[in-house]
Amino acid sequence: MTASAHDFAFQTIDGEALPLTSFRDKVVLVVNTASKCGLTPQYDGLEKLYSEYKDRGLVVLGVPCNQFAGQEPGTEAEIKDFCETRFSVDFPLTSKVDVKGDAAHPFYKWAKDQLGEPAEPVWNFHKILVGKDGAAIRAFGPRTDPMDDEVTGAIETSL
């Protein structure tokens, strides 16, 4: 049984290795994202959250996913360009992965094991908060705004 999010790795949107150990001693908000979703404007809130808290140890990690109504059809290069030009995204993005089902990225399977059903994404912009020690802390549904007091409060407590 995997004990920590730090046991997993993604690839960056540029294809480089992205071990979650690189975020040891940081709080990480992992968010599955999509460019063509009604919730896509949450990129603004995620970027604001990252700007406000990154110096205190928060990382927002965007995880593009095309599992919900095909709302992330682009290539990694197109996704990166969209995020940077439309929303000035400065936080790290991973390559596109599945976040639920049999082909889900291992991090998402682990998070569901840790937090139960609330950790399984039901739509784009689902959020999973991971503590400095790599423990899964809490999941937030897609409609929970990144700047909602519930999210910022959980981040404040974790920092």
102-159 pLDDT per residue, tens: 999 999 999 999 999 999 999 999 999 999 999 999 999 999 999 999 999 999 999 9
Are 132 and 51 contacting, i.e. CB atoms less than 8 angstroms apart?
no
Helices (H), the chain: 42-53, 76-87, 106-115, 149-158
Mean pLDDT, to the nearest integer, of 14-23? 97
Domain of residue 119, residue span: 12-158
**Is 40 in contact with 76 (CB distance < 8 Å)?**
no
Euclidean distance between CA atoms 65 and 93, whole angstroms: 11
* 5 inside domain: no
Does a structural domain hold residue 3? no
pLDDT tens digits, 28-42: 999 999 999 999 999
Q: What is the CATH number of the domain that holds 93?
A: 3.40.30.10
What confidence category does residue 3 fall into, taking pLDDT thresholds of 50, 70 and 90? confident
Provide the pairing of β-strand 27-33 with 58-64.
Answer: parallel
Q: What is the pLDDT of residue 159?
A: 97
DSSP assignment, residue 93? B
37 is catalytic: yes
pLDDT, mean over the chain: 97
Domain count along the chain: 1
Asked whether residue 1 is assigned to any structural domain, the reply reads: no
Nearest-5° Cα angle at 129, 125 to 134:
135
Residue 42 lies in a domain: yes
Residue 72 lies in a domain: yes
Closest C-alpha to 59, from 89, 81, 96, 34: 89
Active site residue: 37, 115, 135, 147, which one? 37
Q: Is residue 4 part of a domain?
A: no
Residue 153 lies in a domain: yes
